[in-house]
Amino acid sequence: MQRQRQKIKNLKGEVVFRKKLASQHTTGEMLLPDYFSKDEHDQILAQRIETTRLAFEKLSREGVDFSRFVELGAERGHRSLTLVNYFDSSGIAMDISFDQLKTAEHFSRLFNLPKLPLRVCCDANNLPLSSSSIPFLFCYQFLHHFPSLDHILAQIHRVLASNSTFFFDEEPVGKMLQLHLYKQPAKEYSKSNLQKGKLLRWLESFISETASDEVDHGIIENHAMLLPQWQRALQGFDSLNVHVRTLRHCKSSVTGHMRPSNFLSYLAGGVIYGGCQMKSLAPSSTCPVESLLCCPECLSTKDPRSGTPLESPLSKGTDCLVCTSCERSYPVVDEIPILLTEDLRKELYPQFS
Protein backbone atom coordinates (compact mmCIF):
# COMPACT_ATOMS: atom_id res chain seq x y z
CA MET A 1 0.00 0.00 0.00
CA GLN A 2 1.32 3.44 -0.98
CA ARG A 3 2.19 5.63 1.97
CA GLN A 4 0.13 8.80 2.23
CA ARG A 5 1.91 12.11 2.43
CA GLN A 6 0.96 15.77 2.40
CA LYS A 7 0.05 17.28 -0.96
CA ILE A 8 1.43 20.53 -2.35
CA LYS A 9 -1.78 22.38 -1.40
CA ASN A 10 -1.28 21.33 2.23
CA LEU A 11 2.33 22.55 2.23
CA LYS A 12 1.32 25.85 0.61
CA GLY A 13 -1.38 26.23 3.24
CA GLU A 14 1.19 25.73 6.01
CA VAL A 15 3.50 28.37 4.52
CA VAL A 16 0.79 30.99 3.94
CA PHE A 17 -0.96 30.48 7.29
CA ARG A 18 2.20 30.45 9.38
CA LYS A 19 3.55 33.54 7.63
CA LYS A 20 0.45 35.37 8.87
CA LEU A 21 0.94 33.94 12.36
CA ALA A 22 4.59 34.99 12.37
CA SER A 23 3.64 38.57 11.60
CA GLN A 24 0.69 38.67 14.00
CA HIS A 25 2.71 37.32 16.92
CA THR A 26 5.75 39.56 16.44
CA THR A 27 4.27 42.85 15.17
CA GLY A 28 0.79 42.69 16.69
CA GLU A 29 -0.94 43.22 13.33
CA MET A 30 -4.22 41.24 13.43
CA LEU A 31 -4.18 39.22 10.20
CA LEU A 32 -6.15 36.35 11.74
CA PRO A 33 -8.87 37.91 13.95
CA ASP A 34 -10.09 34.50 15.18
CA TYR A 35 -6.63 33.56 16.44
CA PHE A 36 -4.65 34.61 19.51
CA SER A 37 -3.36 38.17 19.66
CA LYS A 38 0.32 38.96 20.22
CA ASP A 39 -0.09 39.46 23.99
CA GLU A 40 -2.18 36.30 24.37
CA HIS A 41 0.34 34.33 22.31
CA ASP A 42 3.25 35.62 24.43
CA GLN A 43 1.53 34.28 27.56
CA ILE A 44 0.82 30.91 25.90
CA LEU A 45 4.43 30.63 24.71
CA ALA A 46 5.77 31.41 28.20
CA GLN A 47 3.61 28.56 29.57
CA ARG A 48 4.79 26.18 26.84
CA ILE A 49 8.43 26.97 27.54
CA GLU A 50 7.89 26.15 31.20
CA THR A 51 5.98 22.91 30.52
CA THR A 52 8.70 21.89 28.05
CA ARG A 53 11.39 22.54 30.67
CA LEU A 54 9.54 20.41 33.22
CA ALA A 55 8.91 17.61 30.70
CA PHE A 56 12.56 17.42 29.73
CA GLU A 57 13.71 17.54 33.33
CA LYS A 58 11.57 14.42 33.82
CA LEU A 59 13.08 12.79 30.71
CA SER A 60 16.55 13.58 32.01
CA ARG A 61 15.76 11.91 35.35
CA GLU A 62 14.60 8.86 33.39
CA GLY A 63 18.00 8.66 31.71
CA VAL A 64 17.02 9.94 28.25
CA ASP A 65 19.93 11.65 26.50
CA PHE A 66 18.79 14.66 24.45
CA SER A 67 22.16 16.46 24.34
CA ARG A 68 21.96 16.23 20.52
CA PHE A 69 18.49 16.52 19.04
CA VAL A 70 16.24 17.32 16.10
CA GLU A 71 12.82 18.93 16.54
CA LEU A 72 10.23 18.47 13.78
CA GLY A 73 7.48 21.03 13.24
CA ALA A 74 9.43 23.45 15.42
CA GLU A 75 7.55 26.57 14.25
CA ARG A 76 9.00 29.51 16.19
CA GLY A 77 11.50 27.18 17.88
CA HIS A 78 10.51 27.87 21.48
CA ARG A 79 10.96 24.25 22.56
CA SER A 80 14.35 23.96 20.88
CA LEU A 81 15.27 27.26 22.55
CA THR A 82 14.37 25.64 25.87
CA LEU A 83 16.70 22.70 25.25
CA VAL A 84 19.73 24.66 24.07
CA ASN A 85 19.46 27.25 26.85
CA TYR A 86 18.26 25.29 29.91
CA PHE A 87 19.96 21.96 29.14
CA ASP A 88 22.96 23.06 27.05
CA SER A 89 21.85 20.72 24.25
CA SER A 90 22.86 21.04 20.62
CA GLY A 91 20.23 20.58 17.95
CA ILE A 92 18.26 21.44 14.85
CA ALA A 93 14.81 23.04 14.74
CA MET A 94 13.09 21.99 11.49
CA ASP A 95 9.91 23.36 9.94
CA ILE A 96 8.33 23.98 6.52
CA SER A 97 7.71 27.61 7.52
CA PHE A 98 10.74 29.87 7.01
CA ASP A 99 8.80 32.78 8.50
CA GLN A 100 8.04 30.95 11.74
CA LEU A 101 11.64 29.78 12.11
CA LYS A 102 12.74 33.39 11.60
CA THR A 103 10.66 34.49 14.63
CA ALA A 104 12.91 32.40 16.91
CA GLU A 105 15.21 35.43 17.07
CA HIS A 106 12.33 37.58 18.35
CA PHE A 107 11.27 35.06 21.01
CA SER A 108 14.88 34.40 21.97
CA ARG A 109 15.14 38.07 22.98
CA LEU A 110 11.64 38.21 24.50
CA PHE A 111 12.22 35.27 26.85
CA ASN A 112 15.92 35.89 27.45
CA LEU A 113 17.00 32.62 25.83
CA PRO A 114 20.07 33.87 23.95
CA LYS A 115 21.36 30.63 22.39
CA LEU A 116 19.69 29.64 19.12
CA PRO A 117 19.46 26.14 17.65
CA LEU A 118 20.35 25.57 14.02
CA ARG A 119 17.11 26.29 12.14
CA VAL A 120 16.38 24.44 8.88
CA CYS A 121 13.47 25.06 6.52
CA CYS A 122 12.59 21.69 5.00
CA ASP A 123 9.85 19.24 4.05
CA ALA A 124 9.22 16.54 6.66
CA ASN A 125 8.03 14.26 3.85
CA ASN A 126 11.65 14.23 2.65
CA LEU A 127 13.77 14.84 5.76
CA PRO A 128 17.24 16.08 4.70
CA LEU A 129 19.00 13.98 7.33
CA SER A 130 21.32 11.01 7.02
CA SER A 131 19.89 7.60 7.87
CA SER A 132 20.51 6.15 11.34
CA SER A 133 22.05 9.41 12.51
CA ILE A 134 19.78 11.20 15.01
CA PRO A 135 20.03 10.13 18.69
CA PHE A 136 16.99 12.09 19.89
CA LEU A 137 14.09 13.38 17.80
CA PHE A 138 10.97 15.04 19.15
CA CYS A 139 7.85 16.95 18.16
CA TYR A 140 4.75 18.56 19.65
CA GLN A 141 1.40 18.99 17.86
CA PHE A 142 2.98 17.79 14.60
CA LEU A 143 1.96 14.25 13.63
CA HIS A 144 -1.73 15.07 13.16
CA HIS A 145 -0.88 17.38 10.25
CA PHE A 146 -0.41 14.30 8.02
CA PRO A 147 -3.15 12.27 6.31
CA SER A 148 -1.83 9.13 8.02
CA LEU A 149 1.09 8.18 10.23
CA ASP A 150 2.78 5.68 7.92
CA HIS A 151 4.89 8.00 5.74
CA ILE A 152 6.07 10.43 8.43
CA LEU A 153 6.91 7.58 10.85
CA ALA A 154 8.86 5.87 8.05
CA GLN A 155 10.92 9.06 7.72
CA ILE A 156 11.46 9.15 11.48
CA HIS A 157 12.48 5.48 11.56
CA ARG A 158 14.97 6.10 8.76
CA VAL A 159 16.86 8.91 10.50
CA LEU A 160 16.88 7.58 14.08
CA ALA A 161 20.25 6.27 15.24
CA SER A 162 20.94 3.19 17.33
CA ASN A 163 19.71 3.33 20.93
CA SER A 164 17.74 6.47 20.10
CA THR A 165 14.48 7.98 21.33
CA PHE A 166 11.56 9.56 19.52
CA PHE A 167 9.45 11.68 21.89
CA PHE A 168 6.12 13.31 21.04
CA ASP A 169 3.35 15.07 22.93
CA GLU A 170 0.04 16.91 22.53
CA GLU A 171 -1.25 14.72 19.70
CA PRO A 172 -5.01 14.04 19.45
CA VAL A 173 -6.62 10.61 19.66
CA GLY A 174 -9.90 10.45 17.79
CA LYS A 175 -13.29 9.66 19.38
CA MET A 176 -15.22 6.54 18.46
CA LEU A 177 -18.32 8.34 19.76
CA GLN A 178 -18.13 11.07 17.14
CA LEU A 179 -21.11 12.50 15.27
CA HIS A 180 -20.89 15.13 12.53
CA LEU A 181 -24.29 16.75 12.95
CA TYR A 182 -23.13 20.27 12.09
CA LYS A 183 -20.06 22.47 11.69
CA GLN A 184 -19.46 24.90 14.51
CA PRO A 185 -20.03 28.51 13.38
CA ALA A 186 -17.19 29.96 15.47
CA LYS A 187 -13.50 29.21 14.89
CA GLU A 188 -11.68 27.01 17.42
CA TYR A 189 -9.63 29.82 19.00
CA SER A 190 -12.10 32.68 18.55
CA LYS A 191 -13.14 34.62 21.63
CA SER A 192 -16.79 33.59 21.22
CA ASN A 193 -15.81 29.91 21.21
CA LEU A 194 -13.37 30.14 24.13
CA GLN A 195 -16.00 31.93 26.23
CA LYS A 196 -18.20 28.80 26.17
CA GLY A 197 -16.06 27.05 28.78
CA LYS A 198 -14.03 23.87 28.51
CA LEU A 199 -16.78 21.41 29.49
CA LEU A 200 -19.29 22.75 26.96
CA ARG A 201 -16.66 22.79 24.20
CA TRP A 202 -15.69 19.20 25.05
CA LEU A 203 -19.31 18.00 24.96
CA GLU A 204 -19.92 19.82 21.68
CA SER A 205 -16.87 18.12 20.14
CA PHE A 206 -18.78 14.79 20.18
CA ILE A 207 -21.59 16.01 17.94
CA SER A 208 -20.03 18.62 15.65
CA GLU A 209 -17.06 19.50 13.46
CA THR A 210 -14.64 22.16 14.63
CA ALA A 211 -13.99 25.16 12.41
CA SER A 212 -10.41 26.44 12.25
CA ASP A 213 -8.20 28.86 10.36
CA GLU A 214 -5.77 26.02 9.68
CA VAL A 215 -8.31 23.95 7.73
CA ASP A 216 -9.51 27.05 5.89
CA HIS A 217 -5.93 27.53 4.64
CA GLY A 218 -5.66 23.91 3.45
CA ILE A 219 -3.70 22.51 6.41
CA ILE A 220 -4.47 18.92 7.41
CA GLU A 221 -5.97 18.61 10.90
CA ASN A 222 -6.25 14.84 11.31
CA HIS A 223 -7.97 14.46 14.69
CA ALA A 224 -9.78 11.27 13.70
CA MET A 225 -7.04 8.66 14.29
CA LEU A 226 -8.42 6.22 16.84
CA LEU A 227 -6.35 4.54 19.55
CA PRO A 228 -5.98 1.21 17.63
CA GLN A 229 -4.57 3.14 14.65
CA TRP A 230 -1.97 4.78 16.89
CA GLN A 231 -1.11 1.41 18.41
CA ARG A 232 -0.55 -0.18 14.99
CA ALA A 233 1.50 2.78 13.74
CA LEU A 234 3.87 2.64 16.73
CA GLN A 235 4.52 -1.11 16.52
CA GLY A 236 7.73 -0.59 14.54
CA PHE A 237 9.62 0.74 17.57
CA ASP A 238 11.53 -1.65 19.84
CA SER A 239 9.94 -0.37 23.05
CA LEU A 240 7.26 2.14 23.99
CA ASN A 241 6.50 4.32 26.98
CA VAL A 242 3.42 5.95 25.49
CA HIS A 243 0.21 6.98 27.25
CA VAL A 244 -3.14 8.61 26.56
CA ARG A 245 -4.77 11.27 28.73
CA THR A 246 -8.58 11.20 28.62
CA LEU A 247 -10.80 13.57 30.62
CA ARG A 248 -7.61 15.31 31.76
CA HIS A 249 -6.85 12.95 34.68
CA CYS A 250 -7.52 9.48 33.24
CA LYS A 251 -4.25 7.97 31.99
CA SER A 252 -3.75 4.71 30.12
CA SER A 253 -0.86 2.93 28.39
CA VAL A 254 -1.05 2.10 24.68
CA THR A 255 0.79 -1.19 25.23
CA GLY A 256 -0.23 -4.38 26.98
CA HIS A 257 -3.72 -5.73 27.55
CA MET A 258 -6.85 -3.65 26.98
CA ARG A 259 -7.88 -1.96 30.21
CA PRO A 260 -11.03 0.01 31.09
CA SER A 261 -9.03 3.22 30.69
CA ASN A 262 -7.97 2.11 27.18
CA PHE A 263 -11.62 1.50 26.33
CA LEU A 264 -12.50 4.99 27.57
CA SER A 265 -9.75 6.47 25.37
CA TYR A 266 -11.11 4.49 22.44
CA LEU A 267 -14.61 5.89 22.95
CA ALA A 268 -13.84 9.45 24.06
CA GLY A 269 -10.41 10.16 22.56
CA GLY A 270 -7.77 12.19 24.35
CA VAL A 271 -4.16 13.29 24.04
CA ILE A 272 -1.38 10.81 23.25
CA TYR A 273 2.24 11.34 24.31
CA GLY A 274 5.41 9.49 25.24
CA GLY A 275 8.73 8.06 24.15
CA CYS A 276 9.55 5.39 21.56
CA GLN A 277 12.94 3.66 21.56
CA MET A 278 15.01 2.18 18.74
CA LYS A 279 17.69 -0.32 19.77
CA SER A 280 20.63 -1.55 17.73
CA LEU A 281 24.13 -2.92 18.12
CA ALA A 282 25.42 -0.57 15.43
CA PRO A 283 27.64 2.27 16.65
CA SER A 284 25.94 5.68 16.69
CA SER A 285 27.48 8.80 15.19
CA THR A 286 29.11 11.37 17.47
CA CYS A 287 29.35 14.03 14.74
CA PRO A 288 27.84 17.48 15.36
CA VAL A 289 24.19 17.46 14.34
CA GLU A 290 24.70 20.04 11.59
CA SER A 291 27.03 17.64 9.77
CA LEU A 292 24.16 15.13 9.51
CA LEU A 293 22.24 17.26 7.01
CA CYS A 294 22.10 15.91 3.48
CA CYS A 295 20.90 16.89 0.02
CA PRO A 296 17.07 16.72 -0.35
CA GLU A 297 17.36 16.48 -4.13
CA CYS A 298 19.52 13.35 -3.89
CA LEU A 299 17.23 11.93 -1.19
CA SER A 300 14.27 12.17 -3.55
CA THR A 301 16.21 9.98 -6.02
CA LYS A 302 16.50 6.22 -5.51
CA ASP A 303 19.73 4.32 -6.02
CA PRO A 304 19.01 2.15 -9.12
CA ARG A 305 20.85 -0.82 -7.61
CA SER A 306 19.65 -0.86 -4.00
CA GLY A 307 16.39 1.09 -4.33
CA THR A 308 17.32 3.17 -1.27
CA PRO A 309 17.49 6.99 -1.23
CA LEU A 310 20.80 8.58 -2.18
CA GLU A 311 22.34 10.37 0.79
CA SER A 312 24.83 13.07 -0.10
CA PRO A 313 26.40 15.36 2.52
CA LEU A 314 26.43 19.13 2.18
CA SER A 315 29.36 21.52 2.33
CA LYS A 316 29.39 25.23 3.13
CA GLY A 317 29.48 27.64 0.24
CA THR A 318 29.05 31.42 0.07
CA ASP A 319 25.59 32.09 1.53
CA CYS A 320 24.54 28.54 0.62
CA LEU A 321 25.05 24.84 1.24
CA VAL A 322 26.31 22.75 -1.66
CA CYS A 323 25.74 19.05 -2.30
CA THR A 324 29.03 17.20 -2.54
CA SER A 325 27.50 14.80 -5.08
CA CYS A 326 25.05 16.55 -7.44
CA GLU A 327 26.55 20.02 -6.72
CA ARG A 328 23.14 21.65 -6.30
CA SER A 329 23.18 24.65 -3.98
CA TYR A 330 20.68 25.55 -1.27
CA PRO A 331 20.35 29.15 -0.09
CA VAL A 332 21.00 30.14 3.51
CA VAL A 333 18.78 33.11 4.34
CA ASP A 334 19.16 34.88 7.70
CA GLU A 335 21.18 31.88 8.93
CA ILE A 336 18.38 29.44 7.94
CA PRO A 337 19.22 26.86 5.23
CA ILE A 338 16.34 26.29 2.80
CA LEU A 339 16.70 22.54 2.24
CA LEU A 340 13.89 21.94 -0.23
CA THR A 341 14.06 20.32 -3.65
CA GLU A 342 14.26 22.83 -6.47
CA ASP A 343 10.69 22.20 -7.64
CA LEU A 344 9.25 22.52 -4.14
CA ARG A 345 11.28 25.65 -3.39
CA LYS A 346 9.87 27.29 -6.54
CA GLU A 347 6.35 26.42 -5.40
CA LEU A 348 6.69 27.52 -1.77
CA TYR A 349 9.45 30.15 -1.81
CA PRO A 350 9.93 31.52 -5.32
CA GLN A 351 11.83 34.46 -3.80
CA PHE A 352 14.62 32.05 -2.81
CA SER A 353 14.86 30.28 -6.18
Read off the pLDDT of residues 186-216 as tens digits, 9 standing for 90 and up. 999 999 998 898 889 888 999 999 999 999 9
Residue 38 lies in a domain: no
Residue 179 lies in a domain: no
Determine whether 238 is exposed, middle or buried from the number of CB atoms within 10 Å of its CB (0-12, 13-18, 19+).
exposed
Number of Cα atoms under 13 Å in the Cβ half of residue 45: 27
pLDDT for the residue numbered 1: 39
- For 319-340, b/e burial (b = at least 16 CB within 10 A) is ebbbbebeebebbbeeebbbbb
Closest by CA to 131, choosing from 332, 311, 353, is 311
Q: What is the pLDDT of residues 126-154, one digit of tens each?
A: 999 999 999 999 999 999 999 999 999 99
Q: Which domain holds residue 321?
A: 294-353
- The contacts of residue 73 (CB under 8 Å, 6+ apart) are 94, 95, 124, 139, 140, 141, 142, 145
Q: What is the pLDDT of residues 219-242, one digit of tens each?
A: 999 999 998 899 999 998 999 999
Residue 320 lies in a domain: yes
Q: What is the pLDDT of residues 309-324, one digit of tens each?
A: 789 999 999 999 999 9
Distance of alpha carbon 125 from alpha carbon 119, whole angstroms: 17
- What are the helix (H) ranges across the chain? 8-27, 38-61, 78-86, 98-102, 104-110, 150-159, 191-194, 198-204, 213-216, 227-233, 260-268, 296-299, 342-348
Residue 311 lies in a domain: yes
Distance of alpha carbon 152 from alpha carbon 31, whole angstroms: 31
pLDDT at 283 over 60: no
pLDDT at 56 over 80: yes
pLDDT at 282 over 70: no
- The strand pairing partners of 307, in sequence order, are none
pLDDT for the residue numbered 288: 82
pLDDT at 257 over 80: no
Residue 335 lies in a domain: yes
Residue 304 lies in a domain: yes
pLDDT for the residue numbered 252: 84
Helix (H, G, I), strand (E, B) or coil at 136: strand
Total tally of structural domains belonging to the chain: 1
- Percent helix, strand and coil across the chain, each to the nearest 5: 40, 25, 35
DSSP-derived pairing of the beta strands 239-246 and 270-278: antiparallel
Provide the percentage of residues in the chain whose pLDDT is more than 90: 76
pLDDT at 281 over 70: no
Residue 315 lies in a domain: yes
Radius of gyration of the chain (CA): 20
Q: Name the pTM for this structure.
A: 0.94
Quick one: CA torsion of 136, 240, 64, 57, rounded to 10 degrees?
110
pLDDT at 2 over 50: no
Distance of alpha carbon 125 from alpha carbon 270, whole angstroms: 26
Strand ranges across the sheet with 250-253: 250-253, 239-246, 270-278, 160-173, 134-140, 68-72, 90-95, 118-122, 336-339, 329-333, 320-323, 314-316
Largest CA distance in the chain: 60
Residue 303 lies in a domain: yes
